[in-house]
Structure 1
Amino acid sequence: MFAAVIAILSQFTIPLGAIPLTLQTFAVGLTVTLLGKKVGTLAVGIYLLLGLIGLPVFAGGSAGFAVLFGPTGGFLVGFVFNALVTGWLLERKLLQFAWAMIANIIGAAITLLFGTVWLKLSGNLAWQNALLAGCLPFIIPGIIKACAAGYLGTLISKRLPKKLRVGQG
């Protein structure tokens, strides 16, 4: 179900050149905040597999090997590592708004790191150009989305039965 949530939120895009601003990072953060490292990462993996087999789940309804292994594929691959690290951090402490926001910001930074490095290597770009295209325009929106995912995920989680909650310390 959360792979579908990521797919739906991925369609909310604002074009910013070759790399659009999307709600994918928010969806990944929310998914992991609610489901934890193991199940959250599995949901992200299912989302990527759906796109890889051709379902139009990536930003702008795109799909396939060309997207996943193209210049912006690093952001998609980065989602897996975002989920792993964010989930791991969230499971270390009691789930609170501030901690969830910090964990999601770190996860979003990991996505940007993977995306920027991949963009640099696949596009044979200078580091400065890769940073200008793949990182800098997304820092502030990434922080906002990460904070929103952490806040909303914590808010929803606190309303779940205790046995379903992530991050119990």
Structure 2
Amino acid sequence: MLTEKSKKLRSLINCSIFAAVTAILAQIEIPLPLIPISGQTLAVGIAATVLGSRHGAIAMFVYAAIGAIGLPVFTGFSGGPQVLVGPSGGYIFGFIAAAYFTGLVLEKTKFTIPMAFIANIVGMVVTLIFGTIQLKIVMDLNWNAAIAAGVYPFIAVGLIKAFLASLIGITVRRRLLQAKLITASHKEVA
């Protein structure tokens, strides 16, 4: 039987692992004029699907925090507070909220691949909202230009990543549950 300290340590380790996975997937990128397409959002979806709302959000907070202090974990091996206040910073802040809402949808419904896909689409929308708002402000764009640069290029690839995050996340979650490395939700499906 695990002690409360052991459970907290295991949760901290899981959050740290998913922050590191996000940093690694951030380096997979397709450059675009203002905001690149990267593997970050795939990692956000996987983290939220595996860890749930609270720990998924904590993992993304850790990711943003280590990037904010200057470690090169953001896309293109960048880091520092200037990234968070720049054109792409809203997306990074959005990762925290997206992980929370993705996990929350799953916790309120069921941890299945179809529900995970819906939850990851919710997370994608949350990320795009945060990102587009900051892009508009930082780049002094009108709403049409901000949406054209900050939303449209990411929809198709976002749906693909939402599906992959669902498939990978549910598979990993089930294996971690079997190994007793994470705790099941009260609505967990075997």
Check whether the contact 1:34–1:165 (CA below 8 A) recurs between aligned residues. no
Output aligned runs, 1:75-86, within 5 Å: 75-86=91-102
Structure 2 distance, partners of 1:3, 1:160, is 17
TM (normalized to structure 1)?
A: 0.95
| 1:121 correspondence with 2:147 | no
| 1:31 correspondence with 2:55 | no
Aligned to 1:9: 25
Describe the SS at the equivalent of 1:159. Answer: helix
Check whether the contact 2:124–2:158 (CA below 8 A) recurs between aligned residues. yes
| 1:149 correspondence with 2:149 | no
Aligned to 1:56: 72
User: What one-letter code is carried by the residue in structure 2 that aligns with 1:27?
Assistant: A
Aligned to 2:127: 111
Aligned to 1:46: 62
Check whether the contact 2:35–2:87 (CA below 8 A) recurs between aligned residues. no
Structure 1 distance, partners of 2:185, 2:21, is 21
Structure 1 distance, partners of 2:62, 2:26, is 14
Describe the SS at the equivalent of 2:176. Answer: coil
- Which structure has more RCO (C-alpha within 8 Å, separation ≥ 6)? 1
Check whether the contact 1:157–1:165 (CA below 8 A) recurs between aligned residues. no
Structure 2 distance, partners of 1:14, 1:59, is 10
- When the two chains are superposed, the root-mean-square deviation of aligned CA atoms in Å is 1.2
> CA-to-partner distance for each residue in 1:115-156, whole Å, 9 max, x for gaps?
111111121101111011111000111111011101111112
Give the unaligned 5+ runs of structure 2: 1-16
Q: Indicate how the Cα distance of structure 1 residues 131 and 166 shifts in structure 2: closer, same or farther if over 3 A, else same.
A: farther
Aligned to 1:91: 107
**Number of residue pairs aligned between Structure 1 and Structure 2:** 169
Check whether the contact 1:34–1:153 (CA below 8 A) recurs between aligned residues. yes
Describe the SS at the equivalent of 2:71. Answer: coil
Q: Structure 1 vs Structure 2: percent identity of aligned residues? A: 46
TM (normalized to structure 2)?
A: 0.85
Output aligned runs, 1:126-145, within 5 Å: 126-145=142-161
Q: CA deviation at 1:166?
A: 4.7
Larger radius of gyration: 2
Q: CA deviation at 1:87?
A: 1.1
User: What one-letter code is carried by the residue in structure 2 that aligns with 1:116?
Assistant: T
Give the unaligned 5+ runs of structure 1: none
